Each structure stands twice: as C-alpha cells, then as structure tokens.
C-alpha cells in the first residue's frame, strides 16, 4: 500500500514538473518583441521642438511630413521655417 502511494506521488510530481516546463515554454513563445522606435517627431510641446529634432538628425520627419531638406533655420531666432522653393 505504501509503495503504491509513493508511486502515485512520484508520478504526480513528474506530471507537475512537465506541466511547469510546458507553461514556461508557452510563456517564452508568447513574449512580445520590443516596439519599433518611431522616426516621426511626435509628442513635442512646440512645433519648433519637433523641427529641432528633425534638424539635428534625431528624427527623420515632423508630424506634418517635413524632412530636413524642407526646413530652414532662422538666423534671427531659434525657429524653423518651411523652405518653399
């Protein structure tokens, strides 16, 4: 009787271990990839802040779609203007 009880406990322990391993495997498969960093200068308080990020090369374009070649730096103040030509 005691031997039978020990066998049942051993098989239950093995089952528990295998279930835990299966859970871990599933969790690893479900782990999400890191989000891709945006190239658009979003979330800036001022328009000039977004333009500065584009002009310095930290971002590729503004929310409006302006790239570095379409922006012109003001010589009077620290503002950026759209190059029309």
When the pLDDT of each residue in the chain is averaged and rounded to a whole number, the result is 79
**For the segment 43-77, what is each residue's pLDDT rounded down to a tens digit?**
888 888 888 899 889 999 999 898 888 888 777 76
* Residue 39: per-residue pLDDT: 92
In whole angstroms, give the CA distance from residue 68 to residue 29. 41
Cβ proximity of 73 and 55 under 8 Å:
yes
The alpha carbon dihedral of 51, 52, 57, 58 has a sign of negative
Q: What is the pLDDT of residue 28?
A: 76
Would you list the domain boundaries of the chain? 40-82
In the chain, alpha helices (H): 2-30, 47-56
């Amino acid at each position: 009787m005691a031997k039978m009880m020990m066998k049942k406990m051993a098989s239950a322990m093995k089952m528990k271990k295998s279930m835990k391993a299966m859970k871990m495997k599933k969790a690893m498969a479900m782990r999400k990839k890191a989000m891709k960093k945006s190239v658009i200068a979003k979330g800036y308080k001022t328009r000039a802040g977004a333009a500065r990020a584009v002009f310095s090369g930290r971002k590729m374009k503004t929310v409006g779609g302006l790239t570095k070649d379409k922006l012109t730096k003001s010589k009077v103040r620290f503002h950026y203007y759209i190059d029309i030509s």
